Amino acid sequence: MEVKIFNTAEEIAAACAEIFAEQLIKKPDSVLGLATGASPVKTYNELIKKCKNGEISFSQVKTFNLDEYCDLPRDDKNSYYTFMHENLFNYVDIKEENVHILDGNAADADKEAADFDAAIDEAGGIDIQLLGIGTNGHIGFNEPSDSFSDGTFKVKLTDSTIKSNSIYFENDSMPRFALTMGINSIMKAKKIVLIATGEAKADAIKATVDGEVTPICPASVLKNHSDAILLIDKEAAKLL
Ligand code: GLP
């Protein structure tokens, strides 16, 4: 696992967008694993700029998003479906049929999860997966646990995640469950890029980089991946 430390979130976004651009130039029909949260927003802005100036195109790209809340309408302002369209898809030349976001309202969550994993396999697997990290070390919504998860599944969110993400929701309306790609689905990606900024992520980054590989810190599993890179700022790196 490679770790690169930057001064600012802008520098991280530029470096991360460059990695994705190289991938799209090398393989225009790449399969991208995408993430939500505050961390990737600047990277998406850079990718939009590169698409608008003709450096890259999403016209043959397929995307699979890491996760989605359960029990939240797809067009809710806080759904990851809305997030991805407002922060990337509406501004690039991607075909809507090539966008895959889990349906957190599916009547049969297990079937939705299995169909999602099958669609990733059918697309040829994820070429490059973008990740953020939760303050508790979660990736996607793989929360700290006794064992690493396998494929996509429905998860009960931890109090720590509910606390971190509640800032986006009014009153007590934050969903308590989500669908997420499992650790094994994430680890099957050919390349993984994790971005993290700010002091709030320092403990999680310390456990990921310097700790043992343990499902108590789900991101620590990236040490077992042959092509994983962490792009982090000085604040997130302050305990290393
Ligand atoms: C959410 C998402 C994760 C994301 C994490 C960190 O819980 N499910 O995929 O990595 O938050 O978000 P942020 O980048 O906003 O700190």
Each residue's pLDDT tens digit, 98-133:
999 999 999 999 999 999 999 999 999 999 999 999
Count of CB atoms situated within 10 Å of the CB of 122? 9
Q: Which of 65, 78, 136, 142 is catalytic?
A: 136
Annotated active-site residue 46? The verdict is no
Q: Which residue of the set 46, 65, 67, 142 is catalytic?
A: 67
Please, which residues bridge with residue 64 across strands? 33, 100
The average pLDDT across 220-232 equals 98
The predicted structure's pLDDT at residue 2 = 97
The reported pTM is 0.96
Q: Over 80: is that where the pLDDT of 20 sits?
A: yes
Measured CA to CA, the distance from residue 69 to residue 104 in angstroms comes to 5
Query: What is the per-residue pLDDT across 45-72, written as a single tens digit (0 to 9) for each?
Result: 999 999 999 999 999 999 999 999 999 9
At 170, is the pLDDT very low, low, confident or very high (cuts 50, 70, 90)? Answer: confident
pLDDT tens digits for range 33-43: 999 999 999 99
pLDDT at 61: 98
Query: Which residue's alpha carbon is nearest to atom 10 within ligand 1?
Result: 132
Hey, what are 85's tokens?
A: 């369209």
| pLDDT at residue 14 greater than cutoff 90 | yes
Catalytic residue among 138, 142, 165, 233: 138
Q: What is the pLDDT of residues 189-213, one digit of tens each?
A: 999 999 999 999 999 999 999 999 9
Written as six digits, the tokens of 125 are 């697997």
Instruction: Report which residue type is found at 197.
Output: T
pLDDT at 164 over 90: no
Residue 26 structure tokens: 């090398």
CA of 174 to the centre of ligand 1 (A): 14
Of the residues 39, 44, 79, 185, which should be mutated to test ligand 1's pocket, given the most ligand atoms within 8 Å of the CB?
A: 39
pLDDT value for 160: 86
